[in-house]
Structure 1
Amino acid sequence: MKYYNKLVRDRIPEIMEEHGKKYEIRTLDQEEYIEMLHQKLYEELREFDAASEENQLLELVDMVEVIYALVKSKGYGIDDFESLRIAKKEKRGGFKEKIFLISGEE
């Protein structure tokens, strides 16, 4: 038996069962859940960095799913998150222009 000890998507036990695989799971409390979401975000970032060009989009999808779970765990909705994201983008801009700041006064 391989030990994973990590947060997985909700349907993973169902998928494992469909493939005749045995597994052991438990439900995390809220504090553990948030800690594991943080770890999962770093895991997904590492997977993005290691992914081939054609798989990077899938890894970004995974990162967004974790981010949305973190947003919800903080008591906010995705609409709240998107409103803040858009407001910040309107105020400070996005990253479309590829600007690299070399120096500046503090």
Structure 2
Amino acid sequence: MEKYYKLVRDRIPEIIEAHGKTCICETISDEDYISLLDQKLNEELAEYQESKSLEELADLLEVMQAVVKARGWTLEELERVRADKAAKRGGFEKKILLKEVNEEC
């Protein structure tokens, strides 16, 4: 028996049972859900940083979308904030590395 305390995708219990195993799950509160989503963001980011795979990046995006919804925002709001920041401050296409800033006298 393996013990877990982690947020999993909706179909994971069904997949576990399809493999002839049983699992114990529960539906958690909104507060615990947001907390575990925040942990899941860190987990997925670490997995992407280790593998650099598109699949792990997709997992990170899935969790980000869940966080947006759980916090009562919409994906449209997220995109608007992203676009506004990009318009004001730019994106990352120019590959600029800031190395030093000097104070003017």
| Other-structure match for 1:27 | 27
* Cα separation, 1, equivalents of 2:87 and 2:15: 42
Structure 2 gaps, min length 5: none
Alignment pair present for 1:85 and 2:82: yes
Offset at 1:80?
1.1
Q: 1:105 to 1:31 in 2, by over 3 A?
A: farther
Superposed displacement of residue 35, structure 1 = 0.7
* Alpha-carbon distance in 2 for matches of 1:15, 1:7: 15
Where do 1:1-106 residues align within 5 Å?
A: 1-51=1-51, 53=52, 56-105=53-102
Per-residue Cα deviation, 1:46-71 (whole angstroms, up to 9, x for no partner): 111221x5xx1111111111111111
Partners of 1:25 and 1:34 in 2: CA distance: 17
Provide the TM-score with structure 2 as the length reference. Answer: 0.91
Counterpart of 1:100 in structure 2: which amino acid? L
Aligned partner of 2:19: which letter? H
Q: TM-score, normalised by structure 1?
A: 0.90
Q: Output the CA distance in 1 between the equivalents of 2:29 and 2:36.
A: 10
The 1-side partners of 2:17 and 2:76 are apart by 34
* Shift, 1:105, TM fit: 4.9
* Deviation at residue 79 of structure 1 after TM alignment: 1.1
Q: Deviations over 1:1-36 (max 9, x none)?
A: 111210000111111111111101011101111110
CA distance in 2, matches of 1:22, 1:67: 29
Gaps of 5+ in 1: none
Task: Supply the AA of the counterpart residue of 2:36.
Answer: M
Q: Which runs of 4+ in 1 moved over 6 A?
A: none
Shift of 1:96: 1.0
